[in-house]
Amino acid sequence: MQSPRPLGAEIKHEFPVLDQSIHGHPLVYLDNAATSQKPRRVINALSRFYERDNANVHRGLHELSNRATAQYEAARERVARFIGAAAETIVFTRGATEGINLVANSWGSKFVTAGDVILLTEMEHHSNIVPWQLLAERTGARIEWAPVNAEGLLDMSVVREQLALSPKLFAFVHISNSLGTVNPAAELCALARDAGVTTLVDAAQSAGHLPVDVREIGCDFMAFSGHKLCGPTGIGALYGRAGLLDEMPPWQGGGEMIARVEFERTTFKAAPYRFEAGTPDIAGAIGMGAAVDYIDELGRERIFDHDTALAEEAAGRLGAIPGIRILGPCAGRAGLVSFALETAHAHDVVEMANREGIALRGGHHCTQPLMRKLGLTSSARASFYFYNTREDVDRLVDAVARIDRFFRG
């Protein structure tokens, strides 16, 4: 039996960008919740397509077009298997954001009417808030909020009460990009299904970090991005339950998504193609397929265990700094830690860490409503992936402690 691939330091050499120094210090990349780095396998897949197979898909009969089409559709099938879905339920998008907007504009415009309730959680990313606010403005629907308690967890007793009132839609994040909270997606979808509520799961932070299977979760929609699971930017996928996509009208019009165009009318292809107007990001889809191959080769259970172990160690050690505030649950967090120093603004923390070669993220993390509820304007965030190490945690903790001492004078 073949031994599992190593994680941590032994795999860093497969990521060219990590082999550099920043301001004279070896790079420690801890901004993985914003975007992950790309292994040579993904970079080579992109280069190979552009060097040998570049052509438009579906509309050509020549050899390059045939190759491009075969690879593009193979990527769709591979991404589908990655989340336990069938290929015809996968729409390629520019990312999780576009996937959510597609549902809001297509499904929402058809099925949401005045007086309907859209249920969101207080920990949502702006990408899973703004599209629903725009839909509510267009239709006269209203938004309600599932509360987050002091531990950074959903208040499940309230969520059960809210779902029992049968809102039209429940859209929620699988893993919070600010708190590191892992929401019980299967339980939430089961509660919603029992109440006849359509569900959308934002899996941007989870698809590349822990096993995700839409059959086990039982959601109606799921959106995720390629760039957060070692794939290229500008590519992602929307899963729509079989049959549900076929009930939805096209969102954008153009080439490829049509069956027949006449002067008087247009008829459209079946899903998923009716939602992929124009020339798609062919290379991006191929690169995303290569990325999910790579992730599954490493094993998402192992990745999750690795990431969470680093995050829990970082949270514990950072928590020893006087006056620091660690956001999110004390136990069971995903592979990220957001924190606020009483002595320094998050932007100052990130800038000073950058001088030591450490890449963090500082700000509201596109969760302004959550930050306001927490009484904060911003936080610093360290987010881990399988190429990070305990030495990276050491560098992080030492740097934050020095920054705190500097501002204390």
Q: What b/e readout covers 64-95, taking b as 16+ CB neighbours within 10 angstroms?
A: ebebbbebbeebbebbbebbebeebbbbbbbb
- DSSP state letters, 342-368: SSS-HHHHHHHHHTTTEE-EEE-TT-H
Catalytic choice (189, 219, 230, 366):
366
Q: Kind and range of the H or E element at 143?
A: strand 142-146
Are the CB atoms for 68 and 58 separated by under 8 Å? no
Question: 90-93 and 142-146 as β-strands: parallel, antiparallel, unpaired?
Answer: unpaired
- For residue 327 the two structure tokens come to 């956001």
Return the structure tokens found at 148: 């987050």
Residue 189 annotated in active site: no
* Residue with the two structure tokens 């899903």: 271
Burial string for 115-128 (b: 16+ CB within 10 Å, else e) reads ebbbbbbbbbbebb
| DSSP string for residues in 144-204 | EEE-B-TTSSB-HHHHHHHHHT--SEEEEESB-TTT--B--HHHHHHHHHHTT-EEEEE-T
Token duo for residue 403? 């920054």
The answer to whether 195 and 95 are in contact (CB under 8 A) is: no
| Strands 358-359 and 28-29, sheet pairing | parallel
Q: Which of 148, 144, 147 lies closest to 166, judged by CA?
A: 144
d(CA 123, CA 143): 14
Residues with active-site annotation: 366
